């Protein structure tokens, strides 16, 4: 049986009876959590169980736990980390190992609550003009370093039993607008985009999942990548990514049109699954109906990704933290 071609969220700390019934019928591929869904450890574990019970399977549960500004879990449930760019710069020549350890710790924290997918690494390459909503979430200022640190993030998460989602493919770094509120348009040449922005994603094209960018790349198309068949073909063929491709949240203001139309456009363009966040139950129902079930190719990619979910390794957290502190020459990263 195919999964529903959606990833959806919940309104609160528990599922309502209507949400349970809807999720049972729609059978979304997975779920995503926000701060409004998180209170105590016991409540969060119970909510993850409720979500999986609603669909009758071990559905993936996602979260944005980059650290810094984008971090849904906060103390006392999880450590508070410095923004990734600040963290990586402070680690200097030890940044690869430090990032690996940071995201290993993050993964172990997530798995404690039943969360098994993190929306990271983010391998967008920033520029001086990059919008501030993105800048300190990045890992460096050149594609080689960004790719190396992105690999470390993904491997740290994997070692802790959490799947990674590389984002925002094929690259959000040249955007001078915040796609939560406006549609960024990038005027760079195809050559510049290929050599810089697309390059880290090509290095990491073997990762199991990726999230699209709501960005127009004028050298290729006048549609945002999420809705562009040309850009999805580029992601598949030129970047070489053959994992599960999900949209960024289609409720973001970068996209215009009804949720049903945006759902159909993104799937028709070649995305595998549609992410909808912060919507009403009626809107979630609209998107689930428009999305239907995954295509055969998407289902294969989804099952391949889920097969990589490992149980977290036995890790001495105190030893990992001490090693991380040593890498920073005694400075605290949190």
Q: Which residues are identified as catalytic? A: 180, 248
Q: Where are the beta strands (DSSP E) in the chain?
A: 4-8, 28-32, 61-63, 65-67, 70-71, 117-118, 163-169, 185-186, 209-212, 216-217, 244-246, 274-275
Please tell me whether residue 67 adopts helix, strand or coil conformation: strand
Paired sense of beta strands 61-63 and 244-246, if any: unpaired
CB 159 within 8 A of CB 104: yes
3-state helix, strand and coil shares in percent for the chain, rounded to the nearest 5: 45, 15, 40
CB 66 within 8 A of CB 84: yes
Q: Which has the closest alpha carbon to 257: 298, 299, 214, 294?
A: 214
CB 214 within 8 A of CB 240: no
CB 35 within 8 A of CB 69: no
Q: Which has the closest alpha carbon to 172: 206, 196, 148?
A: 196
């Amino acid at each position: 049986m195919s999964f529903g071609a959606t990833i959806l969220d919940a309104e609160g700390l528990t599922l309502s009876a209507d949400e349970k019934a809807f999720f049972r019928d729609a059978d979304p591929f997975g779920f995503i959590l926000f701060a409004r869904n998180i209170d105590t450890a016991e409540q969060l574990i119970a909510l993850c169980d409720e979500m999986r019970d609603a669909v009758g399977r071990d559905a993936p549960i996602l979260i944005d736990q980059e650290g810094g500004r984008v971090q849904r879990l906060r103390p006392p449930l999880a450590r508070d980390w410095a923004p990734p760019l600040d963290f990586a710069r402070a680690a200097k020549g030890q940044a690869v190992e430090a990032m690996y350890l940071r995201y290993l710790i993050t993964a172990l924290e997530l798995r404690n609550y039943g969360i098994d997918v993190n929306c990271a690494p983010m391998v967008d390459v920033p520029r001086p003009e990059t919008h501030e909503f993105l800048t300190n979430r990045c890992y460096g200022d050149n594609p080689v370093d960004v790719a190396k640190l992105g690999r470390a993030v993904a491997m740290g998460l994997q070692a802790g039993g959490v799947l990674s989602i590389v984002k925002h493919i094929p690259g959000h770094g040249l955007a001078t607008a915040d796609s939560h509120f406006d549609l960024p348009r990038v005027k760079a040449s195809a050559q510049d985009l290929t050599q810089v922005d697309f390059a880290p994603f090509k290095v990491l094209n073997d990762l199991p999942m990726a999230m699209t960018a709501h960005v127009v790349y004028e050298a290729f198309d006048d549609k945002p990548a999420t809705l562009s068949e040309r850009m999805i073909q580029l992601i598949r063929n030129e970047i070489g990514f053959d994992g599960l491709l999900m949209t960024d949240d289609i409720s973001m203001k970068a996209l215009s049109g009804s949720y049903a139309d945006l759902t159909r456009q993104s799937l028709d363009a070649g995305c595998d699954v549609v992410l909808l966040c912060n919507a009403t139950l009626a809107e979630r129902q609209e998107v689930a109906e428009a999305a239907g079930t995954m295509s055969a190719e998407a289902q294969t990619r989804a099952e391949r990704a889920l097969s990589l979910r490992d149980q977290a390794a036995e890790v001495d957290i105190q030893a990992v933290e001490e090693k991380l502190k040593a890498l920073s020459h005694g400075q605290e990263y949190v």
